Structure 1
Amino acid sequence: MFQKFELAHGVKLYVRPTEQFKTINISFKWKQPIAVQDAAIRAVLANILQYSNEMYPTNSEFRKRVDELYGAVLYFDTTKKGNNHIFSLNAETVNDAYLSNEKVVDEVISLLSTVIYKPLLVNGKFVESIVKREKEQVIERIQSMYDDKTRYAQQRLLENIRPNHPASISANGTVPAVQAVTSDQLIEMHSKLLNDDELSIYIVGDLDVNDIKGKIESYFPFTNRKDKVQAKHDTQKVVQNKEFLHEIQEMKQGKLHIAYHTPITFFSEEFPIMQMTNGIFGGFAHSKIFMNVREKESMAYYASSNYSSMYGLIFVLAGIDSNLQEKAVQLIDEQLKVMQAGEITDLEINQTRSMLKNQLKEALDSARAQIEIYDQYKELNENFTVEEWFEKWSNVTKDQIQQMATKIEKEFVYFLSGKDGADNE
């Protein structure tokens, strides 16, 4: 799918030449183990680099330059993947082949080099007014979670089941962590990006592989990285003092979030089987949770499950009336029990297999998604192909799904509702 080159120790370039797109997509991904304070520093740094640099010191000048490049798109982002924090710089530009006598790709790559290597500094530090402004922006982003009750409920669930663990650490850090960010920390983090972080660069488009490789090597003088010991975080269930928490806010619809533990993770050989199992449990509109909890019993406004494979966790999310919490939990539990008893139809298996395949096919219609999918699956196999994964799902049997269901264990129930709801136990 992608051709791989090592530009320096710890710096890899992945190129996918394809006529599928008229644009060229570029993504730089710097990776380091996630920690609350570092996540906050990196989130603020991403914002600062997004809006100004030495060559274009104001946001308006910078945006004007980007717009001059035939509407090129350029943005920073911070996310997390498993135990790692990912600091990304992404760009999309029109292919030179569709322009007359223009070298826009070179201009865009040059601009990417500028925003990485030449930030706007005064006396060796970031401009204090800009630092202050971008800290406020990141804090607003964190606080916006409180307005989205589904996101808030999921975060509260994670904080209870995996405290001080990558699963519950936000890619933006916390409000106190952002408030504590200093200019010196930002300078130090910027240096780590340039010299220490493991870096993967992805390029997708109709291009000459050796030509684009040469451009990257010309504009980016990468240094060798030292090998790092990755922090290990086990997937074992955390011993809880209680397994149910009910919190109350001013709201109408209740948010029911249930966590299930499983020893199967993204790196397990049985991962494709768990993908199928979750799909039948609650992953799609034909799933047992959706059909029985939402459709048959009309007990939920929405109901589904998702498999967080990096952490060995399955989450069930349902929007319900406050007085239905106990009934809903019981009915959701029943769906897992019937799967454990082997009540799984060929139709459910075939529909789930088709949905997983269609999801992957549709995602690959986007260059950005091709990058994200390969960035994840290359951890298993750098020669990853879609056909290989289709075959894995095709080989999953009913007995394997039944056995997989027995490895799913309910861990914690979190319920967020208005005043009319279950008692906190």
Structure 2
Amino acid sequence: MKITKEKMLEKQGYRLHILPSKKYKTINIVAKFKSELKKEWMTKRALLPMVLQKATQDHPSPRQLQSALENLYGTILSSDGTKKGENHVISFRMEVANEAYLNDRTPLLEEALRLFHDVLFNPKSENNAFDEKIFNREKQTLEQKITSIKDDKMSYANMRLIDHMCKDEPYSYHVHGYPEELEKLTAADLYEYYQSFINHDLLDVYITGDVEEDEAERLIDKYFTRENASNQVLDEKKTNTQPIDDSKEIIEEDELNQGKLHLGFRTHTTFGDEDYYALQIFNGLFGGFPSSKLFMNVREKHSLAYYAASRFESHKGLLLVFSGIAPDVYDQAKSIILEQVEAMRNGEFTEEEVEQTKELVVNQLLETMDSAQGLIEILYHQVLSGHMVEAEELIENIRQVTMQEVVDMANKIELDTIYFLTSNEGGEK
């Protein structure tokens, strides 16, 4: 499979990534703003993209902005914020039809980029504050989102696991912010933070699709140049990892029927490390696929869990195990999960299973890269880690992982926290 080669250019106030490809029928533009994790910023950074994508000075209401997008052949605009190791990243994504396929002569890409520019750089504001009506509506939406986490017991248990596991680390900060901070936040406060965000966050802009490189560069330059931003890349801080003297066991109660048993391990490995590829295979064998040890033993063989799986955080060095169990089988389920870790350390898996897992991981990677947005996410992982690898090399590195390297990875991983959210006997309401 031929994978798009990336052209990366340092520009004024941003870094440009051009990925020409005839595979996609649409053109995707993604702007990624990165800052360090600070608790006092989290609520503002959760709310900011919600407000920005609702109105601009030229399109001063959500309806008018949406109408402008629809008039550009149904151009799609979306945004989100997420934690990546010790960084917080706000992404704005735009997907626009390729004008080469249109019957008229509309300069569609330029019109879409002009609108994208307005969303980011000319939001609706007055007297150094965001529009009060829009601000209040989005503030209420975010408040509901924060409240709803408590209702999604799996997400809530995961949040509480990270609260305990990363207690004194920036990674514990809540990505949706905090209700007490949201309550006192004003439209003027958020606009003041926006000024800092738009000028000081590190900005990477990606464009992929059937585009001509020079023209794409000219257009992105026209609409994304930040005259007042140096976009100076600071030395990346190695992720903050606390030493593990002894693992913690936390049990909390709530009104639920199905207990949530989540375990957090430190892998001491992040994207860009030599043994990162072994971690991918370890996770696949351990809990990443339906053929994994967690699924087959905890769920299928012993029928102790409604679900059992694992995933890892590429930039923080965490491996997280999730399982939904009956509250009265906690000890048994915990023991069997930990037995699977021990089995991995002892190399209780076959060469054939390693090879099958490598193919599953490679296929998953190829599937992700098959979509424009997925490809951009994989390439941005490399920007965050400062470790640039061609896509073909990524795949080759996965295929080179040996059984011994997986065993070594299993022995490197340390249990940090066991978290169990169980019934308070009140039943689920």
- Tell me whether 216-225 or 339-348 shows the greater mean CA deviation: 216-225
1:303 aligns with 2:289: no
- Tell me whether 145-154 or 395-404 shows the greater mean CA deviation: 395-404
State the aligned residue count.
419
1:99 aligns with 2:105: no
3-state SS in 2 of match to 1:147: coil
2:270 paired residue number: 265
Rate the CA distance shift 1:41–1:362 in 2: closer, same or farther, 3 A: same
1:41 paired residue number: 44
Q: Unmatched 5+ residue regions in structure 1?
A: none
Rate the CA distance shift 1:383–1:339 in 2: closer, same or farther, 3 A: closer
Q: CA RMSD in A?
A: 1.9
1:132 paired residue number: 136
- The answer on whether the counterparts of 2:275 and 2:405 sit within 8 Å (CA) in structure 1 is no
Amino acid at match of 2:402: T
* The one of 189, 204, 208 aligned to 2:208: 204
1:148 aligns with 2:148: no
1:318 paired residue number: 323
Q: Distance in 2 between matches of 1:226 and 1:5?
A: 12
Q: Distance in 1 between matches of 2:61 and 2:279?
A: 49
* The one of 287, 291, 296 aligned to 1:286: 291
3-state SS in 2 of match to 1:113: helix
2:112 paired residue number: 108
Amino acid at match of 1:63: Q
Q: Distance in 1 between matches of 2:237 and 2:399?
A: 34
3-state SS in 2 of match to 1:167: helix
- Tell me whether 219-228 or 364-373 shows the greater mean CA deviation: 219-228
3-state SS in 2 of match to 1:415: strand
3-state SS in 1 of match to 2:53: helix
1:338 paired residue number: 343
Amino acid at match of 1:273: A
Rate the CA distance shift 1:219–1:310 in 2: closer, same or farther, 3 A: closer
- Tell me whether 367-376 or 225-234 shows the greater mean CA deviation: 225-234
TM-fit CA distance, 1:4: 0.9
Q: Distance in 2 between matches of 1:98 and 1:132?
A: 41
- List per-residue Cα deviations over 1:216-254 (Å, max 9, x = no partner): 1122331242644655542234557x7212122221111
* The one of 47, 63, 77 aligned to 1:74: 77
TM-fit CA distance, 1:143: 1.5
Q: Distance in 1 between matches of 2:416 and 2:157?
A: 16
Q: Distance in 2 between matches of 1:77 and 1:161?
A: 25
3-state SS in 2 of match to 1:417: strand
- The answer on whether the counterparts of 1:33 and 1:231 sit within 8 Å (CA) in structure 2 is no
Q: Distance in 2 between matches of 1:183 and 1:400?
A: 53
Q: TM-score, normalised by structure 1?
A: 0.94
- List per-residue Cα deviations over 1:309-340 (Å, max 9, x = no partner): 32222111111111111001111111111221
- The answer on whether the counterparts of 2:272 and 2:382 sit within 8 Å (CA) in structure 1 is no
- The answer on whether the counterparts of 1:37 and 1:178 sit within 8 Å (CA) in structure 2 is no
TM-fit CA distance, 1:377: 2.5
Q: Distance in 2 between matches of 1:25 and 1:135?
A: 29
- Tell me whether 216-225 or 269-278 shows the greater mean CA deviation: 216-225
1:21 aligns with 2:24: yes
Q: Distance in 2 between matches of 1:232 and 1:139?
A: 33
- The answer on whether the counterparts of 2:81 and 2:89 sit within 8 Å (CA) in structure 1 is yes
- Tell me whether 162-171 or 109-118 shows the greater mean CA deviation: 162-171
Amino acid at match of 1:186: L
TM-fit CA distance, 1:272: 0.7
TM-fit CA distance, 1:29: 0.7
Q: Distance in 1 between matches of 2:81 and 2:320?
A: 23
* The one of 329, 340, 350 aligned to 2:355: 350
Q: Unmatched 5+ residue regions in structure 2?
A: none
1:64 aligns with 2:67: yes
Q: Distance in 1 between matches of 2:163 and 2:245?
A: 13
1:234 paired residue number: 240
- Tell me whether 244-253 or 181-190 shows the greater mean CA deviation: 181-190
- Tell me whether 344-353 or 199-208 shows the greater mean CA deviation: 344-353
- Tell me whether 179-188 or 149-158 shows the greater mean CA deviation: 179-188
Q: Percent identity?
A: 35
1:118 paired residue number: 122
* The one of 185, 189, 196 aligned to 2:189: 185
Amino acid at match of 1:80: K
Q: Distance in 2 between matches of 1:172 and 1:185?
A: 17
2:87 paired residue number: 84
Q: Distance in 1 between matches of 2:80 and 2:231?
A: 24
TM-fit CA distance, 1:360: 0.5
Q: TM-score, normalised by structure 2?
A: 0.93
* The one of 2, 6, 25 aligned to 1:2: 6
Rate the CA distance shift 1:167–1:31 in 2: closer, same or farther, 3 A: same
Amino acid at match of 2:390: T
3-state SS in 1 of match to 2:219: helix
1:245 paired residue number: 250
Amino acid at match of 1:361: L
- List per-residue Cα deviations over 1:191-215 (Å, max 9, x = no partner): 2233211100000100101101101
Rate the CA distance shift 1:36–1:362 in 2: closer, same or farther, 3 A: same
Q: Distance in 1 between matches of 2:80 and 2:180?
A: 21
Q: Distance in 1 between matches of 2:414 and 2:262?
A: 15
- The answer on whether the counterparts of 1:237 and 1:261 sit within 8 Å (CA) in structure 2 is no
TM-fit CA distance, 1:307: 1.4
* The one of 364, 389, 411 aligned to 1:359: 364
3-state SS in 1 of match to 2:305: coil
Amino acid at match of 1:390: I
Amino acid at match of 2:83: K
Q: Distance in 2 between matches of 1:352 and 1:115?
A: 43
- Tell me whether 136-145 or 13-22 shows the greater mean CA deviation: 136-145
Q: Distance in 1 between matches of 2:224 and 2:402?
A: 49
- The answer on whether the counterparts of 2:169 and 2:240 sit within 8 Å (CA) in structure 1 is no
